[in-house]
Amino acid sequence: MPKANPRHPKFPIPGGPELRAKGWRQEALLRLLENVLSVGEDPDNLIVYAALGKAARSWAAHKGIVKALTEMEEDQTLLIQSGKPIGLVKTHAKAPLVIMANCNIVGQWAEAEVFYELQRKGLICWGGLTAGAWQYIGSQGVIQGTYEIFMRIAERRFGGDLAGRFVLTAGLGGMGGAQPLAGRMAGAAILCVDIDPERARKRQQIGYLQEIAPDLDTALEMIDAAVKDRRALSVGLVGNAAEVYPEIARRGIVPDIVTDQTSAHDLVYGYVPKGMSLDQVRELRDDGQGQLMAASRASIVEHVTAMLDFQKRGSEVFDNGNLIRTQAKEGGVSNAFDIPIFTEAYLRPLFARAIGPFRWMALSGEESDIARIDDLLLELFPDNKIITNWIRLAREHVPFEGLPARIAWLGHGERTMLARRVNALVAGGELKGPVAFSRDHLDAGAMAHPNIMTERMKDGSDAIADWPLIDAMMLCSSMADLVVVHSGGGGYAGYMTSCGVTVIADGTDAADERLDHALTNDTALGVMRYADAGYEEALDEVTKKDVPYIRLD
């Protein structure tokens, strides 16, 4: 039976042994669709995160998807175009159950204004990364990545420890909401600014944020006390980052680390300009888009200028993947890209080995299934310090949202090994239900984004989008259950293309074959992508793990 959802009462958390579909594969995808709404930011409007990332194009489309998933046979494939079901075709039992393409606009037309017009006409929707692919698991989906960034900075600049260090950031939405917990887990005193008091309250209610300060003076006093005591602390402040960052800089305070995860990617539906209330912004979204975009960009100029000021004074400053540097440069900040992107600065050696954000969801709805898989991880990878450290921290600090889920940074071969062992646990009745395996779209072979994932690639291949397209076609050939190709919408229009995948471990031999082929080939392509770009780590991985990369003389 579904569980009550106190956050969104109309959107219960799925679970239980009863099937509404004709098999567990179909039921699993239905539950994942339900789950992204149960943990979404605005499920009444089908919005999961990032201001515009939707689970389906409309409620009529959602109803059609649900109907198809409950009625389809295992030898059929549901086709979805930008969140709308368009056909249920006869394929075969080893074919994907769902193939979708969301928000892919022809290059010369891939601009925000074109997207907004198509959206207004009901012809398109943006699936975000994991929102429209029904793979989002709440803020936990980005907690480990954010934590690993903080720890790489700690190793590089602060002797391996962030105790007694001040982190300044902004944004407490579906993605940014991971920051306060990740910062506290890393040992820092972290101040998180957000314009929306409801977002701050929500993060506090679910345990991601400890304190909400009534004003900037109090917030800085709380941070200063924690820094002096070398005490981990997360503090939220309701305010506009374009005002708060410059004010902190004006006072001569220099945080140790500065970043931002506001919805700067979207100047209409995401970022809120300084001097405007949330209600004023909402009123301008239909008839005042030009005015709103100009005001948002002007505020971002001040926001990023303050970040650059902190950088000059010695702060470790980085872009967390929200296009804020891009918007600032278009607004006249010529040196905005002096701020590095997090992927190149801290995580590329991991991605070059196809180590990235792998995730799994207990379709039973039972937390005990995740606990058993945690134990299995520790059994399988006792010498992997990233994994053993993360599982210990996640068990202690990370609350579940929606379906119980976990994320861990695993690489080539490791993902396959874990998933197949979990499939055996399902077959043996050691788990209370099947498990869905997926990953972030920000993965080694799965994303082309020259301002985030593929910025400053060694061989200059930043903007080549062949890799995620190859990934999607390969995953269809590798029997994955769901395969998706997403491109950017709203302010991300024209900036990215990515591929997503989900495979269900239902305890069958067929599932074992799907997991083996899909997960192995997915990470193999990730290694190949970086080997092709000349990264030594990837070339080493090719040799060590016998990745079938074709080297040319």
Annotated binding site for NAD(+): 174-176, 194, 199, 240-241, 261-265, 271-272, 490
Q: What is the DSSP letter of 347?
A: I
For residue 79, the SS3 value is strand
Residue 538 identity: A
Do residues 378 and 444 make contact, with C-beta atoms less than 8 angstroms apart?
no
List helix spans (H) across 410-498: 414-427, 466-477
Numbered residues of the known binding site: 174-176, 194, 199, 240-241, 261-265, 271-272, 490
Residue appearing with tokens 């080539």: 412
Residue appearing with tokens 């394929």: 91
Do residues 295 and 271 make contact, with C-beta atoms less than 8 angstroms apart?
no
CA contacts within 13 A on the Cβ side of 360: 33
Tell which residue, 483, 473, 457, has the closest CA to residue 525: 473
Do residues 466 and 525 make contact, with C-beta atoms less than 8 angstroms apart?
no
CA distances to 106, 160, 319 from 455, rounded to whole Å, are 22, 26, 12
- Measure the N-to-C terminal CA separation of the chain; round to a whole number of Å: 59
CB atoms within 10 A of CB 225: 12
Q: What whole-number distance in Å separates Cα of residue 170 and Cα of residue 311?
A: 16
The β-bridge partners of 360 are: 406, 437
